[in-house]
């Protein structure tokens, strides 16, 4: 049986880190602020993976993004997943060359499927994470791309089938309605998974405390629980969350 994982996500834009609530961004602080409150080299044993997303609404500076990611993850020996606006092979190559173990794709899944196939061919399925943002609208689950601005014309269940055809390695499933609310994951979405769905699932959107993480990882369909909530897990928040999960018999690496 595969071990469950705890994933921490950072949202970056134009030199600063942000909180997101229903995809509305609020600036928190710069790299100095992050270093003062989160020393990733010292909490590396509390998380299994670090995800950093460039959520810039303006034109992105990929070199600045890579420099920031290198500093944040220095001496932090856990897998690093980078993404945000990847639409070309050159952008993907730059992120891999600068330390990304995995690439996370969102809009490209719907708009540039040929790019996704190429990245899978070059780097392997295990390197490609499919990020899917959705809303619950009139009891239906609807996929959104382009940072939550564009609604796709097909339901979530069908879209997930299409992702398996792209041969991506895992799914990062994020609820826009719960994003940043701290109200817990939208576990009802698990009913939308196709019966034979086999991709490892990272649940995101809504985790505000260690009890939410536990509720997610208790579900057999969920392989990893992600949080991007900077304030609720400051200080020793992430180590305490991991200890709580292990104490409650969640099968995780225990260093």
Q: Which residues are catalytic?
A: 133
Angle of helix 113-123 relative to helix 89-97, nearest 10 degrees?
40
Cα(100)–Cα(108) distance, integer angstroms: 18
Instruction: Spell out the alpha helix ranges (H) of the chain.
Output: 31-37, 62-72, 89-97, 107-111, 113-123, 156-166, 210-218, 237-247
Cα(14)–Cα(190) distance, integer angstroms: 34
The tokens of 63 are what?
């070199």
Residue carrying the six token digits 């339901």: 155
Angle of helix 210-218 relative to helix 237-247, nearest 10 degrees?
40
Confirm if 203 and 216 have CB atoms less than 8 A apart: yes
């Amino acid at each position: 049986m595969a071990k469950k994982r705890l994933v921490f996500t950072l949202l970056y834009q134009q030199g600063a880190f942000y909180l997101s609530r229903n995809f509305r961004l609020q600036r928190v602080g710069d790299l100095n602020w992050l270093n003062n409150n989160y020393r990733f080299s010292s909490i590396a044993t509390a998380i299994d993976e670090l995800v950093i997303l460039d959520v810039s609404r303006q034109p992105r500076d990929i070199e600045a993004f890579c420099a920031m990611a290198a500093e944040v993850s220095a001496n932090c020996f856990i897998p690093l997943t980078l993404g945000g606006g990847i639409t070309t092979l050159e952008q993907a190559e730059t992120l891999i060359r600068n330390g990304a173990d995995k690439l996370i794709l969102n809009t490209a899944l719907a708009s540039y499927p040929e790019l996704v196939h190429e990245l899978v061919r070059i780097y392997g399925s295990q390197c490609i994470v499919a990020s899917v943002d959705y809303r619950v609208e009139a009891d239906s689950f609807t996929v959104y791309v382009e940072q939550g601005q564009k609604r796709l014309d097909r339901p979530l269940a069908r879209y997930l089938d299409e992702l398996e055809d792209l041969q991506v390695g895992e799914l990062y499933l994020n609820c826009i309605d719960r994003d940043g609310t701290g109200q817990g994951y939208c576990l009802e979405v698990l009913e939308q998974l196709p019966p034979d769905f086999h991709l490892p699932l990272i649940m995101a959107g809504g985790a505000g405390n260690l009890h939410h993480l536990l509720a997610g990882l208790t579900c057999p369909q969920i392989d990893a629980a992600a949080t991007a909530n900077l304030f609720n897990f400051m200080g020793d928040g992430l180590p305490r969350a991991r200890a709580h999960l292990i104490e409650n018999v969640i099968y995780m690496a225990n260093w």
